[in-house]
């Protein structure tokens, strides 16, 4: 598709900002935008906070300690935001962009995969488990996962998860670590919330929750697998890749 005239998605670096005011600002931006409002891409870093999605269950947060828990209207369950993580919030009009939610999610995940590839890491999709994962023992290996998303018709042994015809197998996280989480909201065809890429974090807070609702799911960051880069560099590359992948 030919890009629409005048379309751009310039990353806006907000720096380190509290989660709740940022969430409220996204809601306000989306509620008041018009057909002529330019899309925006916010990049930021949050102080320690647990955020609970619409599908979230209280039992998945079993030891929050002093870390605040914020209820949100995004999809998904519980996740953690904290220093050393790049959070990206694309605020887009999907109707104007010309694609639907499923493709939007695919494009976001592809931007993360290409960001990781820039740093020599291979990211993977797992059927039935949104986000991006890496092989802990071979983060640079290019071999495909057996449980990657695929159409049911392409695999006679494929099993359906719930009502999603594209989920080919029950997620098995053995040997995998989650390096990027995804949770979005679409209102009047406009997106907010977004994704979080783990760069160089204190990962201990993840041990107090079932990340994204999965007990025992290991969470990882780039520094843990030997990729030592600064937050600003990671944010810059992720912003570039998102702007490229989300182009109409």
Q: Whole-angstrom Cα distance, residue 56 to residue 74?
A: 10
Catalytic residue at 190? no
Residue 214 neighbours by CB distance under 10 Å:
15
Q: Whole-angstrom Cα distance, residue 2 to residue 127?
A: 30
Q: Which two tokens stand for residue 203?
A: 């990962």
Q: Which two tokens stand for residue 86?
A: 């790049």
Q: Whole-angstrom Cα distance, residue 69 to residue 62?
A: 11
Count how many Cα atoms sit within 13 Å of the Cα of residue 226 in the half-sphere of its side chain: 8
Residues annotated as catalytic (active site), given as ranges: 212
């Amino acid at each position: 598709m030919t890009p629409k005239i005048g379309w751009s998605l310039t990353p806006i670096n907000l720096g380190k900002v509290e989660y709740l005011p940022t969430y409220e600002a996204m809601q306000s931006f989306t509620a008041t935008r018009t057909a002529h409002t330019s899309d925006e891409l916010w990049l930021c870093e949050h102080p320690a906070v647990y955020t609970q999605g619409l599908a979230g269950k209280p039992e998945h947060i079993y030891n929050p300690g002093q870390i605040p828990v914020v209820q949100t209207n995004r999809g998904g369950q519980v996740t953690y935001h904290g220093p050393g993580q790049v959070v990206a919030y694309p605020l887009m009009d999907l109707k104007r962009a010309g694609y639907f939610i499923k493709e939007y999610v695919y494009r976001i995940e592809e931007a993360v995969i290409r960001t990781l590839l820039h740093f020599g890491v291979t990211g993977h999709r797992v059927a039935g488990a949104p986000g991006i994962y890496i092989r802990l023992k071979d983060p640079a290996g290019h071999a495909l996962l057996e449980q990657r998303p695929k159409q049911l018709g392409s695999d006679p042994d494929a099993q359906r998860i719930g009502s999603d015809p594209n989920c080919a197998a029950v997620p098995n996280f053995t040997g995998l670590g989650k390096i990027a989480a995804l949770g979005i909201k679409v209102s009047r065809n406009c997106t907010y919330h977004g994704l979080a890429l783990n760069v160089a974090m204190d990962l201990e807070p993840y041990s107090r929750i079932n990340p994204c609702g999965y007990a025992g799911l290991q969470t990882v960051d780039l520094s843990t697998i030997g990729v030592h880069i600064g937050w600003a560099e990671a944010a810059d590359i992720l912003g570039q890749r998102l702007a490229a992948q989300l182009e109409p």
